[in-house]
Amino acid sequence: MATATITELSTALPAKLSLNASAPANSDTDTQSRTGFPGGPGLQQPPSERGTDYRYAHLLPVFPKDEHYPPLTPFAHADPGLRALAHADPRAFLQGASTVEITPNLGTEVRGVNLAKLDPDARDELALLVAQRGLVVFRDQQDFIDAGPDFYLEWGRHFGRLHIHPTSGHPEAYPELHLVYKDGASTFNYELHDSLQPTVWHSDVSYELQPPGLTTFFLLAAPATGGDTAFVSQVSLLRTFSPQFRAFLKTLKAVHSGVSQAEFSRAGNRGGVVRREPVENVHPVVRRHPVTGEEALYVNRQFTRRIVGLKKEESDAILNLLYDHIDRSAANQARVRWQPNTVVIWDNRVTAHTAILDYGESKQTRHGARITPQAERPIPAQEGLELDD
């Protein structure tokens, strides 16, 4: 059976996608051997057209060629974490749960909370915890993952206006859901194939005027090993610099651009579509979180292009120093190993992340979904820094 081309995938119904698994999973043991996701139906590699039904076929990526959207318009963002600060107990949603800090600087793992059953107050409290810890990993969330795309949209809208990605795949009829997808024959991820380091540290779509805040992500299929996601705290990372250098960084602003991402798709990669024309926006190099007040570095190698007002050599030297520090600062990083029914929530305002592309030779599939609410326009840590001049 021939694997479907990008053109074929752009118009095919999700259930008809031609994938690369050689045979259906016939038992839990077979499933675990190919994915690392033990358990029942739905936790397996997507099947080929020869095989059995894939539980999450309705969440496979499509790329409609006639899908176009106007430019995004500004909106007023009300951060749910601020509401939680007024609660009698801002951590009430964790009652009865177990929590473990992943690292001192970043990340908390939680068991014993059913995200699918959280009421609005509990969701506000969750937003506050994510703002404070940067990254929260929730295990045992099959109810959430199986709740379906309409629930995902309702969940995301509690935290902000849902973002429609300009180039990525989405489930049919649900453009607000961003999908990552890679199998042994195809990839719809943005990857650096000509680089020694295929990791791409980034804060999601930071080129938007109002980039994302609290973001939810989960895997529907995973390789047996590998495919982890690494995160870095831009808050603790900033603190490692000398006070003088931090003060200098706070005076700077940088251009974030979506142009190269759009060009990558226009060249026939990913899915070959650009739904909304790319934009560039200026953001502070150091931003202030509206809920915690913490200051965070806000540049990333994928989307930040230059520092405003500096000569190219000056800008490149500073940005490369910051990028290298993000890449190499293990003391400020946390790595999430995917387990069945895991939901990861992070705050894009104070973290950066990258997928670990170490599983390609296995020819196995990594299929994930992201719910991406936008937040406020980044607030400069330096009072009086003008972004529009």
Three-state secondary-structure class, residue 110: strand
Going along the chain, which residue ranges are E strands? Answer: 98-101, 108-111, 135-138, 177-182, 214-221, 229-233, 253-257, 280-284, 286-288, 295-297, 304-307, 333-336, 343-347, 351-355, 366-371, 379-380
Confidence (pLDDT) at 177: 98
Cα–Cα distance for residue pair 150/54, rounded to 1 Å: 19
What per-residue confidence (pLDDT) applies to 5?
Answer: 31
- CA dihedral (165, 170, 174, 177) positive or negative: negative
C-alpha span between 338 and 365 (Å, rounded):
13
Q: What is the DSSP string of 271-301?
A: TS--SS---EEEEESEEE-TTT--EEE---T
Amino acid 190: pLDDT? 55
| CA 82 to chain centroid | 23
Specify the pLDDT at position 212.
98
Q: Are 330 and 10 in contact (CB under 8 A)?
A: no
Residue segments in the chain with a per-residue pLDDT below the cut of 50: 1-51
Q: Burial, 327: exposed, middle or buried (Cβ in 10 Å; 0-12, 13-18, 19+)?
A: middle
Please say whether the structural domain 81-380 has been given the CATH code 1.20.5.50. no
Rounded-to-integer distance, Cα 251 and Cα 382, Å: 6
Q: With contact defined as beta carbons under 8 Å apart, do 33 and 26 qualify? A: no
What pLDDT is attached to residue 9?
Answer: 32
Structure tokens at 272: 């070959």
Q: Tell me the domain boundaries of the chain.
A: 81-380
Displacement of CA 309 from its chain's centroid (Å):
30
Instruction: Name the token pair of 58.
Output: 């309705």
- Token readout for 186 is 């195809």
**Quick one: pLDDT at residue 329?**
95
